[in-house]
Structure 1
């Protein structure tokens, strides 16, 4: 399908679940204000969010610019620039975009997706995968089957299946009391309350909170919060925030302590991490 932009006619759009092709891609070009991230795969300005929804087809979202995040039951992912997220068929999910986002979306039928990961995950987009998605987005919506377009679609499936997975994933608890804590922390990431403080806020003992969180996420409270901070940091840095601002917004005493946490988790400093992302784009 021709790459969509802010000048595209709405008549060009068709529900990807209804397109009778195993693989169909949509591209992004231009800047719009409507929240149509998955509906038309366009650029986004500021912060856009879609409610929980699902597709019959699986989908891969590739972020070339900006930051995407995705939540499904039991998990939360951050998708930095030059990475992608795979969302299996019929998975209930919610996508949020921060900053100006350029993305490509490929929808894949359940039959064609049989060899792809069974669960939601981020994948590192290889240069070949990026070029394949960009090229396929220029195909007609009902491209001829059996020709070059079909061969390229097969290559896309092979590349997704072989792509390494990312590590910016956060297990999400389902217990209502734990979920309340999660929601409060997401509203105010700088809150440095202890496990005991948080347990008291939702009527739990510190021991019960720790036990439940470990059962549902496999993490201690401190490890879970650090992983959440790490993901927010990548999101905010990708949106243009300075290291000092991110450290302040996450409640760190200094930029140095934040940088130390970031380096231990991802093996490099925030500045180098984001520079690597920019170079790859």
Structure 2
């Protein structure tokens, strides 16, 4: 689209359209984001002085921030506060929009990283902001539009697509193994033995470090991976098998109880919203 700044995520350093957002003398600067890569790639740990709202239109991405992992499916966005150290991983093609917001602009903006649902108005405001000149005129229609954008971001509904990550080395080793082979449905007793802990100690540590029980944490891991795989066009049957469920209906029941809709409808609503 004419006038839209679209840095290619894999090579922003060579994009003539990319200007470091922290260097732009405006409270909000927005970009379109795009990648047509076939494989996965990751932007290494980095930070911005401005906070970042990243909307996914097509595809899905995951973001690692100290203390957690977030998945962003279509029609959702993630808020990364200013100066938060984070890495971004993309699998396959991605389209979206990103707004960088100065930390002193609006005290209502979230203070912690979170995934939020995106209304049609918020999406259109991000698109409009990405078409503005970098140094847009202030004090008129552009500033009023930016003010409405901030209102919509502050009012966005938080989605439960966050996986708290433990810092204890033994728990991180367990988490890495579970993420590498999510179909492994070993018992709590078995996992405790594998990481050299008693069952009681494992239960206590994972509760202290994640705020969840062992079973709830493993279920949330399954939700995070399922959303990522479904956004990458995997079938419900394949996702259920890859997560170690004996049947697709049992996986669908878990998904519906956690996110409020069965996986087919959950993803269809996001693809439909993208076309509006």
- Fold-level similarity (TM above 0.5): yes
Match of 2:210 in 1: 217
The answer to whether the 8 Å contact 2:7/2:18 transfers is no
Q: CA shift at 1:5, angstroms?
A: 6.2
- Report SS of the residue matched to 2:44: coil
Q: CA shift at 1:71, angstroms?
A: 1.7
Match of 1:12 in 2: 17
- Aligned residue pair count: 269
Distance 1:223 1:265 in 2: 10
- Report SS of the residue matched to 2:112: coil
CA RMSD of aligned residues (A): 1.8
Match of 2:145 in 1: 152
- The answer to whether residue 156 in structure 2 is matched with residue 183 in structure 1 is no
- The partner residue of 2:93 within 86, 96, 100 is 100
Match of 2:79 in 1: 86
- Report SS of the residue matched to 2:93: strand
The answer to whether the 8 Å contact 1:2/1:140 transfers is no
Gaps of 5+ in 1: 34-44
Distance 1:5 1:21 in 2: 19
Cα deviation digits, residues 21-80 of structure 1 (max 9, x gap): 100000135x544xxxxxxxxxxx432211221111100000011112112122221111
Match of 1:263 in 2: 256
Distance 1:143 1:215 in 2: 47
- The answer to whether residue 250 in structure 2 is matched with residue 245 in structure 1 is no
- The answer to whether residue 7 in structure 2 is matched with residue 2 in structure 1 is no
Distance 2:121 2:261 in 1: 25
Distance 1:113 1:25 in 2: 16
- Report SS of the residue matched to 2:95: strand
The answer to whether the 8 Å contact 1:2/1:137 transfers is yes
Find runs of 4+ consecutive structure 1 residues off by over 6 angstroms.
Answer: none
233 and 83 in structure 1: CA distance in 2 versus 1, 3 angstrom threshold? same
